[in-house]
A and B are shown apart, each in its own frame.
Chain A
Amino acid sequence: MSAPTTIPLADSAHPSAPAPRETPAPVTPKPRALRLRAAGGTGVRYLLLLVVLVVTVGPFLWQLSTSLKGAGESVFGYPPQLLPHDPTLDHYASAARTVPVLSYAFNSLLVAVGCAVTNCLFGSLAGYALARMRFRGRRIAFGIFLATMIIPFETIMVSEFLMMRSLGLNDTLVGVMLPLAVTSLSILLFRNAFLGLPREVEEAAVLDGAGEWQRYARIALPSVRGTTAVVAIFSFVFAWDDFLWPLIVLSDPANYTLTVGIQYLSGTFTNDQRVVAAGTMIAVVPLLLLFFTLQRYFFRGVGEGAVKG
């Protein structure tokens, strides 16, 4: 919209300008040529958008196409065929027969939902204390949370494994979940959200005799629904996509989450690309659907988490 309006505006300013340093060859502006140029600019923009589109989405589409190609159809790309001649869902069934994809998906779902709930609950509790309560040791508590952000998980994974083993939680989904149960990012997001609320309402509640718990549960938490949604979604996706930690802590294939399970599927049955492709589609399609329905929260989360954090 703005392209066609700004360009003629700027150029029509030239004739009235006192002394143009470099007089353009055609002194009289040609509206038609300008409009063409603007249209050309938009055309180039769409062309570039299409190029990026092919690069970002092409790999997904190729995988989807592979997963749908019939057994008699060549999946090797010479010459490449995007549209399957003989589309079939058989490979989804055989991916599910080869490894228990559905039970892996269920494990992932348990872990991801669990992490979303605990991050919202514990994160908001801690964030509320940091934002609204005055007490000795608040700075220390805040410092502990910041410190955990500086420690990359990769540097403590060996000791984390030993810790889980001594707790008897190795090879359990609880063990997968616990280190992600409440991240410092969630706490900080909630703290900032609570700091942004007007104090007056809560102060009025204090006068009415409301305790900390009531102020948190009845007033503060219901006022930060947007942040709660962002934390829930990001915790869910992070837990669903996590690979390194489940790979370390889970050893029995029956307990695998989807990411580890899909890697296992490809390691075991690399000979049929159609089945592996179907498996990856099972792992990624639910998340893509979640993303396309809730995309504004994703964009908000990146903005709040990365720019302010």
Chain B
Amino acid sequence: MSIVTSAPVDVLITLVSDIGLQGEFAPRTLEVTNEFLRTMEQDGTESLRIEIADILNARNEPLIGGGQMEITCKDGVVVPVIAYSLTLAPAFSECARGIEQLAAGTPLSIKISTKSLRCNKCGRLLPDKDGICPVCVNRNRTFFRIAGYLRPYTKQALTLVALSLCTTAVNLVPPVLQGHLIDAVFTKHQHIGILFQTIGVWAVVIVITALLQIAAGRTTAYLAGSIAADLRAAVFQAIELLQVSYFDKKQVGSITSRVTQDTDRVWGFLVDGLPYLASNSLLFLGITGMLLVTNWRLALAVMAPVPLMLVLSAISWGSISRLYFKVGQKWARFHMHLNEALTGIRVVKIFAREDAEMQKFRSRNGDLRTAGIEADTRWFTVFGAMTLLVASGQLINWIVGGEMVYGHQITLGQFVRVNSYIAMVYGPLQWFGDLNQWFSRAMAGAERIFEVIDAETEPYAKNDLHPAIVGRVIFDGVRFGYDKSNPVINGLSFVAEPGEMIGLVGKSGAGKSTTINLLCRFYEPDAGTITIDDVDYCEYELQALRRQVGVVLQDPFLFNGTIAENIAYARPEAGFMEIVAAARQANAHHFILAKTDGYDTLVGEKGAQLSGGERQRISIARAILHNPRILILDEATSAVDVETERQIQEALANLVKGRTTFAIAHRLSTLRNADRLIVLEKGRIVEIGTHNELLEKQGVFYNLVKTQSQVTQIMEVGD
């Protein structure tokens, strides 16, 4: 270790790591210049220096819970340079690429992103780098955002509020009538006719209240159904547009619960909560006014517990909200397991693991129960305290009001009126407590919903290029990693001419499926470009591009519906004879006709009513009808018997004609007809050529074929 005393150097890259020399959490700096790289310790000492001219390559070596930059020197020695947490791994990985560029004497061309790790406002770490701080996000914004779902139904919502207001106003009348009856008829013994007149008015009030309630109920039903549907649609639409990488990180059950549980909570609040918030607020004000008019001293006395109720409500707000958020999380976990257990029911049964799955279910169910009980217990405790305060209000009325009646300061009628209003004033106040719970649940649900809605979508609207594609595909220096610090495709370059069939070959993990994923633009390259017909494919409108790409997978996914609907999935407007023609080309027509309902046969969930070979041929028919310019065959014949494979091969031969085709097959003999084979190893091309050329070359492909034929022989002997 030496103290830096050298003259200032032209530093090209400076990165600060968060792991110190001894593995402790401490800053360490990496500096890269044109001549050397060095690491600097906190005290300014230089702990390592390597000349760029001595470097053979640089890479990010994944460690457990972090990474380490390693330099391989030209003398073969591997030098660990600097360790860092996973938070910083992508930046250091990009830096390693830059070091390799400098070592190769090429211009430095890297992009090290400097994303914010902390919130600028509160300083908290951000859950998503450069993302929104969930603490600083405006709560009112969330509230108004969910209230925005009422906008298409403004008329109905206002009607509901108006109906509620009318109900409120009408509800204020009976206590007045009660007081009037007691004072005028029972106390002063005036004309008995007043009794019947007053009761007549009361009866009218009751009828009007009932009519108002019916109208309000009907409006609520309409609003509830509509808003629930809108919310579910909004979440589902957001899910449909999400990046594929989102689904890599989240489980299906967890997403499903947002479409069901969380949307339910939000619409419940919107439909039941918001209109009643308005009407109950006015009811509270109206009653307060009536109480003050009746006797202001008594009014102030009976409403003394109100501030306490408000304080209690405010205190319990946060904790109850958190508990209901936890309930939402438990629901997601519960859904996740339920989804998995149902989807894999055959596997569960075949391995006789019903008891284990039941045990797992009990555990999830137990967690949900515990969380639910905890949240509800807290809520009902607060509710109980509220009830106590309500009761104390009535007691105060009997003490203070009773004394006033006894001292002739107020009439018995006024006392009864106040007593009735107390029940009514504390009703809305208790309801505000309910609102707290309602609001907490709804906000928790809304946040989980908006987490999906706000997640980064695929770049659908990025560009608007809709050209007819011929099918010339060029990969130029493409680099990509699911984890940005560990590229699985590294500098991939090749050209596929229109109509050419390219076979992608390599061991598992070589990068074949990733190449296909990039081609489908499920992911975009981290570096380099993919062009189609000499235009960067990112310039194309995403759906326009995908309409030109067809995929036949090893385990084709069919939707629950008829065979005809599945074949026409990509072109629903296709005529029946077009569907039949596609099925004929896919060698599927024959077996379809053999079924009782022919093309109207229901395939069941995921096509469960069909055999693997049948599903495969329907997926080929689907691809034929889709008529893409670029076709991807991903292990399309690997899961079927020999006869079915022959039929599928014939179908595929029809399908690939005139299309640029990329085929992956572990059974290498099935790629014999490919125009060229690209052999991948660790994300790089190691060989390109025809089947025969590569066999003659006796390189990597030759060894793969040889190994496979040996394995096949062993399996045959085993059989």
Chains A and B belong together in one complex: no
Question: B interface vs A, CB < 8 Å?
Answer: none
Question: A interface vs B, CB < 8 Å?
Answer: none
